[in-house]
Structures are given as structure tokens and as C-alpha cells.
Amino acid sequence: MRINFFVEDMLFFKYIGCATVAKTLYRELGKMDDVEVSWKGYGSPADLVHFHTFGPFAATKRRVTKGRKVLTAHSTPRINEGNIALAKVINRYYPKIYRRYDHIITISPSCHEEVQRMVPDKPMTMIPNGINRDHFSFGEAKRRAFREEYGIGEDDQVVLTVAQLTPRKGLYDFLTLAARCPEKRWVWVGGLPYGAMSKNYRRIKRIKRHPTENVIFTGHIPDISDAYSGADVFLLPSYAETFGLVILEALSCGLPVVARDIPEYYGIFDDQILFFEDNDEVVGLLDETSLLRQKAASAREFSARYDIRSIAAQHLALYRELLES
């Protein structure tokens, strides 16, 4: 069985979640027997091409692909709002694009429901994202190195967010919370992969250039597991997600997670994470030391259900089913 992976991961796009997921899955499938997997092979023959993006380069690849064409729905119309400019215009094309693939893989219950409403006649299978838990694990040396690099004291409480710098990810709430809790250090890892197409691009560039004393914008860093090890609490104030991969990475590194109460997380993280509806609740949760410790104690074990080895096996089973049908 010959499988080709295709994702548009050029320039800063290599930092977006779908590229991370695709590479993790690709590497794990490469360890398995009876499957030959290639990465973005334009001329390579394949029985099935698994797409993780559907931009212009992916569209070119799809048109020349003779094998089965599968798309993972990392992106849906709902998550474009507050994330990129011209979202309403772009979202109109989603149903037409999705119908051009033979099979859709959805990654969460809410993602599955959204895609079903959009293209009800398209066959689809839900398989969640997975992570390499060997890589995403706490390291004391990583913690010390990260804090030293960014001038963070050993006793400082670090609240970490890993996300694109956009309104949809809750950037403005993050800044409001940092102003309300000046005794904590607030670290945001991530950049603007869509460049000038990002929502509020110029405003956010100005904010990034002049952060308050207790806020650190690291931009992209070589290994984000360093940031997870260096933090004490993971906060994701995002208003919409298809899965929330960074939550899973944080849990695998043993962090307690505080996230906005949005339906996307139900059926994935359940009661392992602490939900909030407004900033007042976040402030209260950050002071609940015993509760945070309780969630941290079970975080690593919880992440085992999304181990990439299991997720890769589910993908391989689907590939076989599609090629045999």
C-alpha cells in the first residue's frame, strides 16, 4: 500500500497545527509494516493521497492524483472567523472544495457535525489527532533552560498559551488577564502564519512590539515542549477550535489546563481540563492551587488515549478499508 501525504507547510505555514499533525502521523506510519509512505511526492505513484490542506498547491496535486483522495478537516468555516481577513468570502468555497475529495476525516465530534451539515452526502470518518508522547513530556533541564532564556524567575508562576496571534485565539483576553494579574508571568508562543491576511494584523504587530513587563511574546521557538516544561499552567482562551492539539501537548507534559468553555472540547478532554466562561473565572482558577495540582497529576496519563501509535493504526485501518472498497 503506497500512501502519499500532502500538506502546504512552506515558510511560516510549517508552524500551523495541521502541519504538525501531518508530520507526526507521517513519521509514525513510516515505522509500520506493509505501508510505503511518502511526503509531498508530486511524481510519486500512490494508491491513496492524504491531504491535510487544500490551498493552491494541494489543489494542483489533487487534480493530477489518480489514487483515492482523502482530506482531514483541520480547517472548517467556523474557525476562520476572528482568525483571517475576508473569512466570510473564503468560507463560501468550503462545500465545493470538500466535495472534491473521496473521503473526509474529521477530528472531533463538533468538527464532524459541522462537516456533515456542510456536505451531508460526503462519506467521512472521525479519527482524533494524536501526539508523540515520548517527545511531549516534562523535562527539568528543559524547564531551567526555558526560564533562563526568557529571564523568568524560579519561583514565578508562568501562565502559557501556544497559539497563533489572532483574536479568535483569545489574544485580547490574554492581555486583559495579564494586566489583572501582574504578579504572574504570561508567555505566548506563536506568530502570525497568515501574515497580513491575519485578522487585526497591524494592531497585533504593534502589541507584540510593546508588551507589558509581565508579558513575553516568544514568537516561534524550535521546540515548544521546552515552553510546556517551563510553564506552570496552560491557558487556551480560544473562541473556536476543531480539536485543540496544544491542549493535548500540554497535558502530555503534565500541565493543568484552563480553557474556554466551548463545545469543541467535549468528547475529547471532558473533565480533565478546567473550563471558564469569563475572565473572572480564569483569575479564580489560577489561584486554586490544590485543584491545579490535582489536574496536573492526572494530565500525563490522560494523554495516553491520544498516543500517535494508536491514532496511526486507526488511519491505516481506514486506508485499507477505502482501498478495498
Structure confidence at residue 78 as a pLDDT band (50, 70, 90): confident
- Higher pLDDT pick, 40 / 279: 279
Give the whole-number percent of the chain exceeding pLDDT 90: 73
Task: Label the pairing between strands 185-189 and 124-126.
Answer: unpaired
Model confidence over 295-308: pLDDT tens digits?
999 999 999 999 99
Domains of the chain: 2-130+307-324 (3.40.50.2000), 140-305 (3.40.50.2000)
Would the pLDDT of 325 be above 90?
no
Q: What is the mean pLDDT of residues 33-56?
A: 87
Structure letter (DSSP) for residue 289: H
pLDDT digits (tens, 9 = 90+) for 205-214: 999 888 999 9
What does the pLDDT average to over 17-43? 89
Average pLDDT value for residue range 117-133 = 96
Per-residue pLDDT tens digits for 141-196: 999 999 999 999 999 999 999 999 999 999 999 999 999 999 999 999 998 877 77
* Exposure class string for 138-154: b at 16+ Cβ within 10 A, else e: beeebbeebbeeeebee
Q: Which of 88-92, 139-143, 278-282 has the lowest mean pLDDT?
A: 88-92
pTM comes to 0.89
The pLDDT confidence band at residue 15, using thresholds 50, 70 and 90, is low
Residue type, 15: Y
Question: How much is the average pLDDT of 4-19?
Answer: 76
The CA distance from 41 to 313, in Å, is 22
Order of strands, sheet of 233-236, starting from the edge strand that comes earlier in the sequence: 215-219, 185-189, 158-162, 233-236, 257-260, 274-276
CA distances from 152 to 155, 234, 258 (A): 8, 16, 21
Model pLDDT, residue 80: 73
Is 11 a residue whose pLDDT tops 60?
A: no
- At 100, is the pLDDT very low, low, confident or very high (cuts 50, 70, 90)? very high
DSSP-assigned letters across all residues of 107-170:
-SHHHHHHHHHH-TTS-EEE----B-TTTSS--HHHHHHHHHHTT--TT--EEEEES-SSGGGT
Comparing 200-204, 228-232, 271-275, the range with the smallest average pLDDT is 200-204
Across 275-293, average pLDDT: 97
Confidence of residue 85 (pLDDT cuts 50, 70, 90): low
What is the pLDDT, as a whole number, of residue 284?
Answer: 97
Question: Band of the pLDDT at 13, cuts 50, 70, 90?
Answer: low
Say yes or no to pLDDT of 12 above 70: no
What pLDDT score was predicted for residue 275? 97
Q: Look over the chain and give the mean of its residue pLDDT values, rounded to a whole number.
A: 92
